């Protein structure tokens, strides 16, 4: 019984990261022939899907912030140009044109 416990503990010590562990579970699930209803396989697939979606959401958020900054810059430029047009129009009117 002690030998089994030591072996079990050693297996957990060799795992380096949760991702590696998930990959090992997924590959073991493929060879166990439990089918597509295997919960460990579904959990692994959903975890990968969640990570992918989170990265895409972060990318979309960064793109949105960039577009918002561009809009604000364009609004500022538009205001400056509108003031310049008004100033030039007033000068032309004062000059008699």
Predicted confidence at residue 34, as pLDDT, reads 67
Predicted confidence at residue 97, as pLDDT, reads 82
Predicted confidence at residue 96, as pLDDT, reads 87
CA distances from 66 to 47, 72, 83 (A): 29, 10, 26
Around Cβ 79, how many Cβ atoms within 10 Å? 10
Reported pTM: 0.52
Three-state secondary-structure class, residue 72: helix
- Report whether 81 contacts 75 (CB < 8 A): no
Name residues of the chain where pLDDT drops below 70.
1-34, 36
User: What pLDDT digit, counting tens, does each position of 7-17 carry?
Assistant: 444 454 454 56
Around Cβ 40, how many Cβ atoms within 10 Å? 14
């Amino acid at each position: 019984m002690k030998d089994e416990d030591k072996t079990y503990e050693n297996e957990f010590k060799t795992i380096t990261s949760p991702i590696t562990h998930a990959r090992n579970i997924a590959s073991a699930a493929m060879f166990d022939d439990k089918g597509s209803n295997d919960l460990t396989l579904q959990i692994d697939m959903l975890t990968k899907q969640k990570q992918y979606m989170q990265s895409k959401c972060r990318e979309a958020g960064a793109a949105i912030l960039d577009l918002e900054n561009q809009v604000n810059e364009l609004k500022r430029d538009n205001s400056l140009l509108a003031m310049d047009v008004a100033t030039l129009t007033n000068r032309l009117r004062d000059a008699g044109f």
